[in-house]
Amino acid sequence: MNFRISDTFTDSLARLTGEEQKSVKTTAFDLQLNPAAPGMKFHKLDKVKDKNFWSVRVSDDLRIIVHKSADNLLLCYVDHHDKAYHWAARRKLENHPVTGAAQLVEIRERIQEIVVPYYVEQAQPKPLLFAGITNEALLGYGIPEEWLEDVKRAGEDSLLSLADHLPAEAAEALLDLAIGVKPQVAQAVVAAGNPFDHPDAQRRFRMVHDVAELERAFAAPWEKWTVFLHPAQRQLVERDYNGPARVSGSAGTGKTIVALHRAVFLARAHPDSRVLLTTFSVPLANALHSKLRCLVGNEPRLGERIDVHAMDAIALRLYTLHFGQPRIATPEKIKIFLAEAAAECGGERFSTHFLRTEWEQIVEAWQLDSWEAYRDVSRLGRKTRLPEQQRQMLWSIFDRVRTRLAAEGLVTIPGVYGRITARLGQLSQLPFDFCIVDEAQDINVPQLRFLATLGEKRPDSLFFAGDLGQRIFQQPFSWKGLGIDIRGRSRTLKINYRTSHQIRSQADRLLAPEIADVDGNAEERRGTISVFNGPPPTIKTFPSSAEESRFVGQWLQSLAGEGVSPHEMGIFVRTPAEFERAVLAVEQAGLVSKVLDEHVETMAGHISVGTMHLAKGLEFRAVVVMACDDEIIPLQSRIETVADNADLEDVYNTERHLLYVACTRAREYLLVAGVEPASEFLDDLIHA
């Protein structure tokens, strides 16, 4: 008998308490081993339209709803007795008459009404979105027959409510059509085929071959948008590119998932290849590694050919291989060298911060080794105007630092990239055949030069995933100038699977509707749609931090009472100086917090507290962004170090991006709080 689990089962399982989940998983393991075992308590449901629905007893009150036939056992849903039975009474499993895909369909006649009315008296009715599309076309997109009339009457206000009642591929097709995109249609299954083999069905129903595979499915959160691909995403994963390619999209649109699947696709298509899957930080690389294990857990040999590391780790490994173990100059050592060189050259008028950023963003980033190179370098991202006399003084300082580093046998991380990039250019055999880069918006100049050498302009060799709206670490620079030209090979994802419509639309107010990179490649943010609704975000300011912490504590306590687990909640602040306010709020909720470090590991039973920078790559059901006070975001200390007003734009942009990143870590619930006078960005969140 084929044993499968549905995404509706894993979604409902995630809403149970920890102890309840343990009991359900034990029963699921027993079902997988032997569904006919004497101890299994099946009960055939009679007040349902689909006569193949059964319930399986887990405890006195918990029931698993299964769909059982001669050849298949499908875990469909789990909940307390009455809720589980009610769910089954409103569903049926059927094969779509046109696409052939197996679908769990909500029974239309049991739905009393769509929440949002189609017409409001005395209001100008909004146009119907799909009235001009034929029934045949809608059926081809996977719309169940009994929902065709509702789709034809749907307008902008009712679309998301309607989508909640439809199978995933049908809802996503309507969202595509609503934003003017032609949906990608998966190839239909032939009449004699298995309806569970259809690509749409494989996104919802997971075949489980043995207990080990079931254990892996339960060991990590199994999000349907993580494991399975929308057809538009699959097209990006599987197509051939004649040069570097990039996929972009706002937070939650599945860029990381595309990157993961691209790595697996290339490794599978090229059995003798080595694939590098990388990103700019260790925590994000660790997260990629965990997701990759979930994706290829049953193909360990495939996973062995995919190296998942942070960029710096790969560069250091290759440097050690070719030149021996490097002695890395610490930031503290560089700071001392800069100060001493400035004193020797009479450059005390330059602030320590200015010298350090000029060294990091110009001299080291571009690996400048002469006065002429420093004089002529393009200063994108460093808009401060410097007369040639000042540049000469600065170069004398930096040249002394370079000489001292060499004398002491020290090398910087950008220096590591510089040497290994030069060495790779001399090799006939490169260490990787393909390279996939996640969070590409935050890689720096030395890293991109390194990647350009790895790619060597070979087809399919470089694939980037990122979002310019989430650039929080790096200044802008020209990719084209470093040999990475993505023009004509850049695509933007438009469907948000992670964040509710309400949170996404409010967070988007922080950013411009279109963001372009230095080379003119634009990322269009308009038209992005979330696939589910949720409560509107709460944005509040308070007279004091004590009142802020008290309110946040009550908010957290309320969510805990509704069944949101502590590990599903996160609190983010701008700097560690605001940790105390967050920890106090958790204590007032009667809960326990864990302050995240660079390893970014959440802990069961604890609410995660971290900086906005550490929020990157994480997600929670509920997020609080605290201490959004004036002079905290944007951070006043950053503004005060700006040497020229022209540099302020970059500071404000990255601070906006930082708040956007923190807000979009939330799936369902978002609270943004601050003390009066509050951050100017909150006005944009509320009124933009």
Largest CA distance in the chain: 90
Please check the confidence at residue 37 and state whether its pLDDT lies above 70: yes
pLDDT of 642? 74
Q: Where are the domains of the chain?
A: 224-321+418-524, 333-410, 535-687
Measured CA to CA, the distance from residue 605 to residue 406 in angstroms comes to 50
Query: Distance (Å, rounded) from C-alpha 685 to C-alpha 114?
Result: 29
Neighbours of 213 (CB within 10 A): 16
Neighbours of 71 (CB within 10 A): 8
pLDDT at 583 over 80: yes
pLDDT for residue 567: 92
Over 60: is that where the pLDDT of 606 sits?
yes
pLDDT reading at 115 higher than 50 = no
* Two tokens, residue 513: 């509707």
Q: Let me know if domain 535-687 sits in CATH 3.40.50.300.
A: yes
- The average pLDDT across 559-578 equals 95
End-to-end CA distance of the chain: 56
Percent of the chain whose predicted confidence (pLDDT) is above 90: 58
Confidence of residue 327 (pLDDT cuts 50, 70, 90): very high
Q: Mean of the pLDDT values across residues 404-418?
A: 97
Give the residue from 539, 626, 612 showing the smallest Cα distance to 581.
Answer: 626
For residue 405, what are the contacts with CB-CB under 8 A and spacing of at least 6?
329, 337, 411, 412, 415
The answer to whether the Cα torsion of 450, 454, 456, 457 is positive or negative is: negative
Q: What does the pLDDT average to over 498-504? A: 90
CATH homologous superfamily of 224-321+418-524: P-loop containing nucleotide triphosphate hydrolases (3.40.50.300)
Higher pLDDT, 525 or 480: 480
Mean pLDDT of 40-65: 94
**CA distance linking residue 475 with residue 11, whole number of Å:** 40
pLDDT tens-digit map of 244-287: 999 999 888 889 999 999 999 999 999 999 999 999 998 889 88
7 pLDDT band, cuts 50/70/90, is confident
Please check whether residue 602 is in contact with residue 285, taking contact to mean a CB–CB distance below 8 angstroms. Answer: no
Please report the beta strands in 16-52, taking only residues with DSSP state E, as ranges in sequence order.
42-44
- Asked if the domains 224-321+418-524 and 535-687 are classified in one and the same CATH topology, the answer is yes
Asked if 148 and 141 touch (Cβ cutoff 8 Å), the reply is no
Identify the band that residue 602 occupies on the pLDDT scale cut at 50, 70 and 90.
Answer: confident
- Select the more confidently predicted residue: 300 or 596: 596
Could you give the CA distance from residue 415 to residue 408 in angstroms, rounded to a whole number?
Answer: 14
559 has pLDDT over 60 = yes
- pLDDT reading at 231 higher than 50: yes
Q: How confident is the model at residue 385 (pLDDT cuts 50, 70, 90)?
A: low
Q: What is the pLDDT of residue 370?
A: 95
Q: What's the confidence (pLDDT) of residue 178?
A: 85
Range 207-211, long-range pairs (CB < 8 A, 24+ positions): 207/2, 207/3, 207/4, 208/3, 208/4, 208/5, 208/32, 209/3, 209/298, 210/32, 211/29, 211/32, 211/33
pLDDT for the residue numbered 228: 59
Q: What angle do CA 423, 427, 432 make, to 5 degrees?
A: 95
Residues 88, 53: Cα–Cα separation, whole Å = 7
User: Residue 466's pLDDT is what?
Assistant: 93
- pLDDT value at position 646? 60
H-run or E-run covering 574: none
Does the reported pTM lie above 0.85? no
Is the model's pLDDT at 217 over the cut of 80? Answer: no
pLDDT tens per residue, range 612-624: 999 988 899 999 9
User: Whole-angstrom Cα distance, residue 165 to residue 146?
Assistant: 12
Q: Which residue has the higher pLDDT, 245 or 157?
A: 245
Contact 415, 316 (CB under 8 A): no
- Of the pLDDT bands very low, low, confident and very high (cuts 50, 70, 90), residue 608 is very high
Q: Whats the size of the chain, residue-wise?
A: 688
pLDDT at 578 over 50: yes
Predicted confidence (pLDDT) per residue in 159-180, tens digit? 888 988 998 889 888 988 887 7
Residue 177: the pLDDT is: 87
